[in-house]
Amino acid sequence: MTITRKHFLGTLTGAAVLALSGHAQAQTTTLRFHQMLPPQAVIPAQAIKPWAEKVEKESGGRIKVQLFPSMQLGGRPPELFDQAKDGVVDIIWTVLGYTPGRFPKSEVFELPFSSGDAESSSKAFWDYVQKNAQDEYKDVKLIAVHTHGPGLFHSKDPITKLEDLKGMKVRGGSRVINIMLEQLGATPVGLPVPAVGEALSKGVIAATTIPWEVTPALKVTQIVKNHTGFTGAKGLYTQTFAVAMNKGAYDKLPADLKKVIDANSGIEAAAMFGRAMDMGDKAGLDIAKKAGNNIVTLDAAETNRWQRAAAGVRATWYKEVSGKGIDGPKLAAEAEALINKYSKK
């Protein structure tokens, strides 16, 4: 006699049927994680991949995270946040400044000489968003926000004083950074980070604003030989980043798998991404040193000149966001207090 599934289930006890049904329901969920950088870059290799592996392990293998680097699922880097919002993909990592004006409250962390090491600043940024800017992320399930470490210049010609920047075409990664570059006398050129290497090699730009951590992936220390940083713990600029999940993809998960995602979201996830940035900064700097590149650290007096020259960016930002009903000075004070709270002594 042929035993059909119906006949077989009919011979089982109710408890056994429930057990089989439960096994059937414990199906694997695959989440597609999309981002702009090659897989060997710091954040994909040292933050996204470990995060994905941790989620898979803690879900007992019921969540599989497929990693898609270098925009393999299509679109351009500025479209990543919307890809998560609209369900084109399940999870993304992106630079918030790629969509100018969309995250005005979050922009406060990009103001000149605001933050230092990425781990501390990322914790502060997460805390700040929870208190002041949740509305900017209401369309997604926010997993983490973070910053990079102290910002500096990488240039074809040496930058040893403020005047060297005058008229120089410099890549800026966000609206706020471009405002700063303009006020410092440079000619800002907006480019997403994957385009930096080619733009430098072809002479489209003469310098770029990126942290040390991404220079190896973009081969920047091979293309240009001059790097200029500043005295003190805080960098000239920073960029802000987010890891975001499609709300529908999150809502479809059973309660226990939602808990896995929740356990891997928040301030500790932010800190992990920040730590990866800090470790990447050290590695990128070491590569430049071994290459014999010209690494300039502007002294305290010259750094102070840049601080004074960049001070107008804050006033410009205050005026712009006030038109959106945002109290810029209040948010800046809140951000500064949180950065000081979490900063490494």
Q: Which domain holds residue 36?
A: 28-150+239-280
> 33 is written with which tokens?
């994680």
**Sequence-separated (6 or more) residues with CB below 8 Å from residue 130:** none
> Do 233 and 308 fall within a single domain?
yes
Q: Could you tell me the sign of the dihedral formed by the alpha carbons of 280, 338, 105, 137, in that order?
A: positive
Residue 3 has pLDDT above 70, yes or no: no
Q: Which amino acid is at 48?
A: I
Q: Report the alpha-carbon distance of residue 291 to residue 176 in Å, rounded.
A: 32
Q: What is the average per-residue pLDDT within 196-208?
A: 97
> Do 72 and 138 fall within a single domain?
yes
Q: Report the alpha-carbon distance of residue 280 to residue 42 in Å, rounded.
A: 6
Q: Which of 17-26, 174-183, 276-285, 300-309 has the lowest mean pLDDT?
A: 17-26
> Do 181 and 276 fall within a single domain?
no
Answer yes or no: is 78 within a domain.
yes
- Do the beta carbons of residue 85 and residue 102 sit within 8 Å? no
Answer yes or no: is 15 within a domain.
no
**CATH, residue 231:** 3.40.190.170
**pLDDT, tens digit (0-9, with 9 covering 90-100), for 247-300:** 999 999 999 999 999 999 999 999 999 999 999 999 999 999 999 999 999 999
> Do 262 and 299 fall within a single domain?
no
> Do 202 and 274 fall within a single domain?
no
| 8: confidence class by pLDDT, cuts 50, 70, 90 | very low
Q: How far is CA 316 from the centre of its chain?
A: 24
Answer yes or no: is 157 within a domain.
yes
- Do the beta carbons of residue 240 and residue 110 sit within 8 Å? yes
Concatenated DSSP letters of 157-175? S---SGGGGTT-EEEESSH
- Do the beta carbons of residue 73 and residue 89 sit within 8 Å? yes
> Do 134 and 246 fall within a single domain?
yes
Answer yes or no: is 36 within a domain.
yes
> Do 143 and 258 fall within a single domain?
yes
Q: Report the alpha-carbon distance of residue 324 to residue 111 in Å, rounded.
A: 18
Answer yes or no: is 5 within a domain.
no
> Do 251 and 338 fall within a single domain?
no
| 188: confidence class by pLDDT, cuts 50, 70, 90 | very high
Q: Give the model's pLDDT for residue 13.
A: 46
Last residue of a domain, one of 229, 257, 280: 280
- State the total domains in the chain: 2
| 345: confidence class by pLDDT, cuts 50, 70, 90 | low
Answer yes or no: is 34 within a domain.
yes
> Do 40 and 105 fall within a single domain?
yes
Classify residue 71 as left (phi > 0), alpha (psi -120 to 50) or beta: left
Last residue of a domain, one of 227, 251, 280: 280
> Do 309 and 222 fall within a single domain?
yes
> Do 161 and 182 fall within a single domain?
yes
> Do 61 and 171 fall within a single domain?
no
